[in-house]
Every structure is written in C-alpha cells, then in structure tokens.
Amino acid sequence: MTAQGQRTGRGGFTLLEVLLALGLATLVAGLWVAGAAGVLRSGQASDPEDALLALLQRTRREAVTRGRPVDLIPLDDDRTFTWGPGPDETAVLPEIAEVRVRLVEPDGSGLALLGGVPEARPLARYRIHPDGTGDPARLEIQRNGRVRMVDLDPLTCSPLPGATDQ
C-alpha cells in the first residue's frame, strides 16, 4: 500500500514530455538564429562616417592579425578605400547626398588657404602599425555645408571627443 498523495512506480519523464521539450527547444533556437542574423545584417553602417570608423577598426584588426603595418589608402572618389594587395580588400562607403567624410592631416599640419578658407589636405594613406596604433590623423565630416573635424586617437584609431566645427 502507498501513502495517500504518493505516486507508485518509477519517477521520470514520459516519451511525450521529452519530445515536447525537444521540439520547444528547437523552435526557440530557430527563432534565436533568425533574429541574430537580422541583427548582424542591420549592423552594417549606412552612414559614411560610421562606415569609415568601422573600416578603420577592421584595418586595425588586419594589422594586428598580420603582424605588419597595413595602409588604408583612399582612392580618387573619397568613398573607395583599399588596404592590401588583393582586390577583395576594397571597401566603398555608402553615398548620402550632402555628406562627405575623409581622412586628413592632423591639426594644423596640412592646412591650405583656398579662397580665404583654410582647407585640410587629405591623407594619401593612413598607416596602422602591428601593435594596433595608427599615424596621427583627423576625420573631416561635411554635412549639409557644415564641416566638423574629429581627431583620431593614435592608440585606438577611434574618434576623440571634442570635435571642432569649421
């Protein structure tokens, strides 16, 4: 005889309970993978400024991984960059009307006076060293006729706070 409220037989899960749990886990995992793929796709920068900053970090990782300096070279249109010998190592920044970004010489070292307005000279190349540091440079962002200059941190190749409007 058993005491009142106790089950008889062996404890455990039935085959139906195990199959339901596995089906539910599979469904949740499928939804999670689909959501993660969407997040990764949306992580691609649609703004030229964000795209150039992401490209700087990608090039920095390449220099550290390769263990040698890597040059980020802007091509003629200021939107296309290359950073290695292969054709796959080319990136094109997204195009947005009234927005232009480019790497220019650091503060005051490469200013040219054009029509009474100082203009920074663009860099022919931006070198990132194997330890992840980069040469001194600034990021010039032109939006709707306004120009903003952002210094890049040579240690991290990231923008420093305190952008100046020109």
Residue-wise pLDDT tens for the chain (166 aa)? Answer: 555 666 666 778 899 999 999 999 988 888 887 776 655 544 555 788 888 888 889 889 988 998 999 998 888 777 888 886 666 678 888 888 788 888 888 865 544 445 555 677 888 889 999 999 999 999 888 888 888 888 999 999 888 887 666 5
What's the CATH number for 48-165? Answer: 3.55.40.10
| Mean pLDDT score across all residues of the chain | 79
Alpha carbon distance 67, 161 (integer Å): 29
Phi first, then psi, for residue 46 (nearest 5°) are: -105, -10
User: What is the reported pLDDT for 42?
Assistant: 46
Give, as one character, the DSSP assignment of residue 108: T
Phi first, then psi, for residue 19 (nearest 5°) are: -65, -40
Q: Domain spans of the chain? A: 48-165
User: What is the reported pLDDT for 110?
Assistant: 46
- CB contact set of 158 (below 8 Å; sequence gap of 6+): 53, 56, 57, 152
User: What is the reported pLDDT for 99?
Assistant: 84
* Contact criterion met (CB below 8 Å) for 137 and 72: no
Structure tokens belonging to residue 133: 């540091």
* pTM, 2 dp: 0.64
User: What is the reported pLDDT for 128?
Assistant: 92
User: What is the reported pLDDT for 144?
Assistant: 86
User: What is the reported pLDDT for 117?
Assistant: 53
